[in-house]
């Protein structure tokens, strides 16, 4: 790849030579302790966010000071969690550039610029057993790519010319897939990178198959079909051929690995469409399931479905926690998964047998046309929930203006609320927690050997009411319908038949808009093909009208797989060594996105959607968000503390409300010295006593943090890193205006020399 140069960039041959002399001879630090490095999103492949280090203790944690800051003026990287390898920390900054910095000083080593569309929340580090091959593996838009961790340059031997097209192998035309890239970085196990996806949550989004690739070659090693194909386990829990049109059922959160046993634990999300499932009748395995796979082969070992036939967007969104519990004198290796709807499930890690009883309990039946909600749902009977499940009038926020409270009283009276109340088109349903409540990505951590699991959670209700989706034809104006009918009558029916079902050699065109992209349809209509003459007299408005009438959606765009081919390649200041990642050629023949059921497949007469209804985070009174500690040796909640700062509540003198944080984009670190670090809304950084929840230390960040914090040790010194780059919202104090506020960036804390000795 040609190196892009600028007069002010350190890219001369001499600079590169000095870089290689300085950094390619970094000694390979062999460290077999799984919790003393932070090379993956959650620290290690088990996603425990646990760090084993003796320097920062309960007694001295309040002495933490800012050691250095790597500034980043751009707030668009506020989700990114760095990783550490040897003496280098890798961060995202400077117009979507991957930057390697000295983990001791923050000095830049190299910059790979302009990685527009790189994984939002983090990357993966891998190195060979001899330590000679070190690479960063990540997704860039819909491709999987690798960069040399020492030089910062793309590895062009990876995949095909440096990339793997991850749209392939999804039971869809690859060029019709608009999005599959996960916001999470996946997980490294041995020489594999195991990847989930985030293909979207609308009708006909791509399926969320989980795949493993070789980190050296990019070769696909295995695929786990989360929507089973014919002959596979679980296929009969769906309608016939559902895998051809149902999407989602994806792992967009953290995959946890038991390295010793070679087991991957997948928290699988909801099938599409989230709130109406008449086209996917059945329990829908492996939607909303914890699935244990052989990490080397992708073979299913066991599974447990936490929601049958999901109608509430209650996908599993947090990392399964791998812990050892002591039950009745027996040590059991377990896996615990916390859910969006506030439940905690705990299983034997090997067999999948529940550690605590789970019962199937009956719930209300859906009355939506064609819908068949599942009659029962699994409920833990010993381990308590960490949220409430029903909204009542006495729970309305007392801080709301009286007029707004009265409006909510009326809405609550007219609505239905409660766990697993099915959505309806006749009335509103108020779900607690809603689609953004409970535990989400980055919100679980553990002390693995002690059976303790920690959760960040919030009570954030969702209000739903279903509406029938209008077809493209129904959305047309009367004038456009008349134009389409006139054109069909004068130019199409004589060959294709009165019902456009085909006649002789003329094919059926009744659904041509579903088969062809708009530009291809337009070309066909105006130029012609074979014995079909071009209709050169037809204006663009009439072409658009007939395309819609035949089932097409002109607004559907092909997207840009490469992500940055047409963007200005602006070079940041600093030691730029490469730009743009591996070059990806444009698709030769992009296909339209899937917008309807495949021809010949039975499906409901109508589709229904909702506007998602998550616009009222402070509908309920405080407290709004907590950190919760579970003791899963006994199946009890050990302690609970509100987290976050709400500006209005705080101005009234109430410091115990916590604060609702959109989709709870926060993180936790658990230390071997018994400290629980966590971030919260309002730029809060806390250190709690992990044993009893008492507050040991807190500080205000100068900018909001939406990323998983990390911890590492270098030259005997322990560091805490927080990505504090986001803007404060209107319901938070703007600490960037405080005296002594730090610049936006990655803030690194440590004890001073006196305290660390």
Predicted pLDDT of residue 130: 94
Mean pLDDT of 139-158: 97
**Quick check: 473 and 623 in contact, CB under 8 A?**
no
Predicted pLDDT of residue 522: 67
Share above pLDDT 90 across residues of the chain, in percent, rounded to a whole number: 69
Mean pLDDT of 530-541: 68
The verdict on residue 363 lying in a domain is: no
Residue 194 reports pLDDT greater than 60: yes
The verdict on residue 179 lying in a domain is: no
Q: Examine residue 623 and say whether the peptide bond preceding it is cis (omega within 30 degrees of 0).
A: yes
Residue 528 reports pLDDT greater than 70: no
The verdict on residue 49 lying in a domain is: no
**C-beta neighbour count of 211 within 10 angstroms:** 23
Show the tokens assigned to 178.
């608009």
| Domain ranges, residue 551 | 463-556+594-615
**Cα–Cα distance for residue pair 128/20, rounded to 1 Å:** 19
* Residue matched to tokens 């194909």: 229
DSSP per position, 72-141: ---GGGTT---EEETTEEEEEETTTEEEEEETTT--EEEEEE--TTB-SS--EEEE-TTS--EEEEEEET
Expressed in angstroms, the distance from the first to the final Cα of the chain is 47
> What's the pTM value of the predicted model, to 2 decimals?
0.89
Predicted pLDDT of residue 555: 54
The verdict on residue 389 lying in a domain is: no
The verdict on residue 490 lying in a domain is: yes
Predicted pLDDT of residue 530: 65
Predicted pLDDT of residue 317: 92
Mean pLDDT of 662-683: 90
Contacts of 588 (CB under 8 A, 6+ apart): none
Predicted pLDDT of residue 16: 41
Q: What angle do the packed helices 478-491 and 540-549 form, to 10 degrees?
A: 90
- C-alpha angle with apex 260: 53 to 35, nearest 5 degrees? 10
Q: Which residues of 527-561 are buried (b: 16+ CB within 10 A; e: fewer)?
A: eeeeebeebeebeeebbbbbbbbbbbbbeeebbbb
Predicted pLDDT of residue 476: 73
Q: Is the dihedral of CA 725, 729, 734, 737 positive or negative?
A: positive
Mean pLDDT of 232-255: 97
For the chain, the C-alpha Rg in angstroms (whole number) is: 27
Predicted pLDDT of residue 28: 42
Instruction: Give 18's pLDDT tier (boundaries 50, 70, 90).
Output: very low
**Quick check: 676 and 639 in contact, CB under 8 A?**
no
At 369 the three-state DSSP class reads coil
Among candidates 289, 375, 377, which has minimal Cα distance to 337?
Answer: 289
Cross-strand pairs, 107: none
Q: What is the pLDDT of residues 34-71, one digit of tens each?
A: 799 999 999 999 999 999 999 999 999 999 999 999 99
Q: What is the pLDDT of residues 369-396, one digit of tens each?
A: 999 999 999 999 999 999 999 999 999 9
Q: Name which of 128-142, 206-220, 323-337, 481-495 the model is least confident about.
A: 481-495
Mean pLDDT of 620-649: 94
Q: What is the pLDDT of residues 339-369, one digit of tens each?
A: 999 999 999 999 999 999 999 999 999 999 9
- The CATH number of the domain holding residue 602 is 1.10.760.10
Q: Name which of 161-175, 176-190, 262-276, 511-525 the model is least confident about.
A: 511-525
Share above pLDDT 70 across residues of the chain, in percent, rounded to a whole number: 89
Predicted pLDDT of residue 537: 65
The verdict on residue 601 lying in a domain is: yes
The verdict on residue 322 lying in a domain is: no
Mean of the per-residue pLDDT values of the chain: 88
**Cα–Cα distance for residue pair 100/151, rounded to 1 Å:** 9
Q: Please give the tally of structural domains in the chain.
A: 1
Predicted pLDDT of residue 647: 86
Predicted pLDDT of residue 30: 41
The verdict on residue 622 lying in a domain is: no
Show the tokens assigned to 83.
């990783």
Predicted pLDDT of residue 139: 96
Predicted pLDDT of residue 519: 64
């Amino acid at each position: 790849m040609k190196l892009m140069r600028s007069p002010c960039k350190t890219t001369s041959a001499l600079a590169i030579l000095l870089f290689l002399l300085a950094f390619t001879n970094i000694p390979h630090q062999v460290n077999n302790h799984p919790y003393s490095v932070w090379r993956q999103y959650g620290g290690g492949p088990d996603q425990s966010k646990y760090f084993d280090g003796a320097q920062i203790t309960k007694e001295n944690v309040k002495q933490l000071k800012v050691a250095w800051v790597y500034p980043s003026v751009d707030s668009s990287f506020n989700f990114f969690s760095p990783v550490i390898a040897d003496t280098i920390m890798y961060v995202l900054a400077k117009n979507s550039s991957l930057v390697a910095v000295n983990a001791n000083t923050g000095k830049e080593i190299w910059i790979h610029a302009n990685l527009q569309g790189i994984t939002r929340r983090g990357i993966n580090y891998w190195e060979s057993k001899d330590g000679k091959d070190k690479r960063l593996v990540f997704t860039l838009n819909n491709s999987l790519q690798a960069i040399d961790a020492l030089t910062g340059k793309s590895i062009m031997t990876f995949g095909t010319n440096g990339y793997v097209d991850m749209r392939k192998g999804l039971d869809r035309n690859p060029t019709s897939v608009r999005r599959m890239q996960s916001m999470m970085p996946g997980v490294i196990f041995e020489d594999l990178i195991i990847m989930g996806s985030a293909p979207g949550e609308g009708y006909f989004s791509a399926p969320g198959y989980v795949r493993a690739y070789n980190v050296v070659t990019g070769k696909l090693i295995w695929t786990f079909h989360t929507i089973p194909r014919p002959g596979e386990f679980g296929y009969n829990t769906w309608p016939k051929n559902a895998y051809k049109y149902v999407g989602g059922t994806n792992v967009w959160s953290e995959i946890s690995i038991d390295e010793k046993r070679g087991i991957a634990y997948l928290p699988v999300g909801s099938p599409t469409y989230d709130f109406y499932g008449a086209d996917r009748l059945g329990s829908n395995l492996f939607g909303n399931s914890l699935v244990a796979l052989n990490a080397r082969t992708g073979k299913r070992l066991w599974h447990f479905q936490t929601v049958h036939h999901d109608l509430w967007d209650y996908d599993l969104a947090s990392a399964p926690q791998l812990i050892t519990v002591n039950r009745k004198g027996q040590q059991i290796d377990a896996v615990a998964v916390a859910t969006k709807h506030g439940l905690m499930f705990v299983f034997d890690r090997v067999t999948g047998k529940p550690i605590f009883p789970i019962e199937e309990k009956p719930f209300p039946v859906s009355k939506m046309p064609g819908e068949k909600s599942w009659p029962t749902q699994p409920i833990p009977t010993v381990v308590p929930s960490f949220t409430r499940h029903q909204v009542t009038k006495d729970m309305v926020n007392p801080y709301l203006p009286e007029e707004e409270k009265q409006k909510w009283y009326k809405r609550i009276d007219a609505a239905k609320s409660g766990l697993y109340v099915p959505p309806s088109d006749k009335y509103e349903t108020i779900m607690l927690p809603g689609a953004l409540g409970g535990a989400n990505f980055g919100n679980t951590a553990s002390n693995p050997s002690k059976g303790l699991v920690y959760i960040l959670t919030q009570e954030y209700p969702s209000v739903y009411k279903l509406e029938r989706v209008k077809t493209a034809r129904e959305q047309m104006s009367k004038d456009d319908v008349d134009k389409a009918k006139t054109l069909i009558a004068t130019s199409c029916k004589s060959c294709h038949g009165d019902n456009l079902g085909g006649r002789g050699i003329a094919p059926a065109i009744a659904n041509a808009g579903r088969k062809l992209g708009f530009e291809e349809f337009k070309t066909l209509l105006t130029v012609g093909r074979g014995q079909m003459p071009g209709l050169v007299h037809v204006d663009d408005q009439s072409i658009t009208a007939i395309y819609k009438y035949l089932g097409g959606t002109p607004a559907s765009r092909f997207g840009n797989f490469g992500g940055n081919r047409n963007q200005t390649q602006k070079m940041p200041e600093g030691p730029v060594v490469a730009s743009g990642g591996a070059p990806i050629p444009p698709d030769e023949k992009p296909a339209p996105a899937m917008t309807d059921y495949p021809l010949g497949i039975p499906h409901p007469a109508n589709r229904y959607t909702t506007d998602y209804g998550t616009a009222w985070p402070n509908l309920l009174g405080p407290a709004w968000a907590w950190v919760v500690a579970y003791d899963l040796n006994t199946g009890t909640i050990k302690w609970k503390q509100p987290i976050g700062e709400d500006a209005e509540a705080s101005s009234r003198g109430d410091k115990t409300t916590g604060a609702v944080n959109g989709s709870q984009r926060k993180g936790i670190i658990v230390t071997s010295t018994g400290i629980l670090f966590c971030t919260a809304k309002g730029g809060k950084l806390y250190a709690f006593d992990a044993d009893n929840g008492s507050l040991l230390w807190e500080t205000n960040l100068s900018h909001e943090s939406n990323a998983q914090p990390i911890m590492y040790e270098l030259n005997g010194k322990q560091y805490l890193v927080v990505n504090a780059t986001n803007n404060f919202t209107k319901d938070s104090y703007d600490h960037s205006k405080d005296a002594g506020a730090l610049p936006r960036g990655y803030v690194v804390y440590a004890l001073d020399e006196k305290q660390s000795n």
